[in-house]
Amino acid sequence: GENVEQHPSTLSVQEGDSAVIKCTYSDSASNYFPWYKQELGKRPQLIIDIRSNVGEKKDQRIAVTLNKTAKHFSLHITETQPEDSAVYFCAAPGGSQGNLIFGKGTKLSVKP
Amino acid sequence: NAGVMQNPRHLVRRRGQEARLRCSPMKGHSHVYWYRQLPEEGLKFMVYLQKENIIDESGMPKERFSAEFPKEGPSILRIQQVVRGDSAAYFCASSPGLGPLIGELFFGEGSRLTVL
């Protein structure tokens, strides 16, 4: 089945700096890679996703890049703000292709 | 359109009791997923269901845990004879299940189980 590794587990940046979170996956057939944000005590929510027919997707300050050859994808947050502080999870389709397997998460702290 | 509804939000059980967690998917969604989240850890997949069918239960413990999604009513995650290690947040998510491609999962607010 799919195995998703996520790094780093914690990340602290100054407000205005960029943050990068990386994930690798094992199943070369995987074709959908979302990123979820979970604020403390809240539910995870999708912030951006990418399908394997594109290499990069951007939405304002958030971008995701995909390297299918190397089987890794990354989340980039530019001009970070304190409200970006949260846990971020990457994911990839599971064995049945109908569910998602999540990474262990990255706790991002943005210091004002 | 109401989101994914989970109840109870908080549940306290003593060791050996049963816990039942309920999840009503978003309107129009036919796929339900259950995930478990331990403190300071990620989302661990448990089970994926469609109406009246378990599609993938590869993440479910072999004993004491069961899940169903009946034709009518919410999906239920049932934990029998709970132990302290079952204490966690249990998140339900749903998706419309349109076509063969997976897309966004919509999560509920979670049910936080505490086993004394």
> Using CA atoms in the order A19, B42, A9, A82, what is the torsion angle rounded to 10 degrees?
40
Mean pLDDT, range B21-42, rounded to an integer? 91
| DSSP symbols for B36-50 | EE-TT--EEEEEEEE
- β-pairing, A106-111 vs B43-50, is unpaired
Nearest chain A residue to B6, by CA: A43
Fill in the DSSP letter of residue B6.
E
Is there a contact between A51 and A101 (Cβ–Cβ < 8 Å)?
no
Task: Indicate the pLDDT class of residue A1, thresholds 50, 70 and 90.
Answer: confident
A76 forms beta bridges with: A20, A63
Task: Indicate the pLDDT class of residue A42, thresholds 50, 70 and 90.
Answer: very high
Task: Indicate the pLDDT class of residue A30, thresholds 50, 70 and 90.
Answer: confident
User: Are B42 and A102 in contact (CB < 8 Å)?
Assistant: yes
User: Are B48 and A95 in contact (CB < 8 Å)?
Assistant: no
Q: How far is A80 from chain B (nearest CA, A)?
A: 23
Mean pLDDT, range B27-49, rounded to an integer? 90
Q: How far is A100 from chain B (nearest CA, A)?
A: 7
- Give pLDDT tens digits for B70-92: 999 999 999 999 999 999 999 99
- Strand, helix or coil at B84? helix
Please tell me which of A1-10, A57-66, A96-105 the model is most confident about, judged by mean pLDDT.
A57-66
Task: Indicate the pLDDT class of residue A2, thresholds 50, 70 and 90.
Answer: confident
Is there a contact between A15 and A110 (Cβ–Cβ < 8 Å)?
yes
Q: How far is B93 from chain A (nearest CA, A)?
A: 10
Asked if A40 reaches chain B (Cβ–Cβ under 8 Å), the answer is no
Match 């076509």 to its residue by tokens.
Answer: B99
Q: Is B104 exposed, middle or buried (0-12, 13-18, 19+ CB in 10 A)?
A: middle
Task: Indicate the pLDDT class of residue A36, thresholds 50, 70 and 90.
Answer: very high
Q: Which two tokens stand for residue A46?
A: 């999708």
- Give pLDDT tens digits for A54-94: 789 999 999 999 999 999 999 999 999 999 999 999 999 87
Closest by Cα among B89, B113, B109 to B4: B109
pLDDT at B42 over 60: yes
* Chain A residues within 8 A of B110 when measuring between CB atoms: 43
* Chain A residues within 8 A of B48 when measuring between CB atoms: 94, 96, 98-99
Rounded Cα–Cα distance for residues B106 and B45 (Å): 14
Q: Which two tokens stand for residue A100?
A: 């998602």
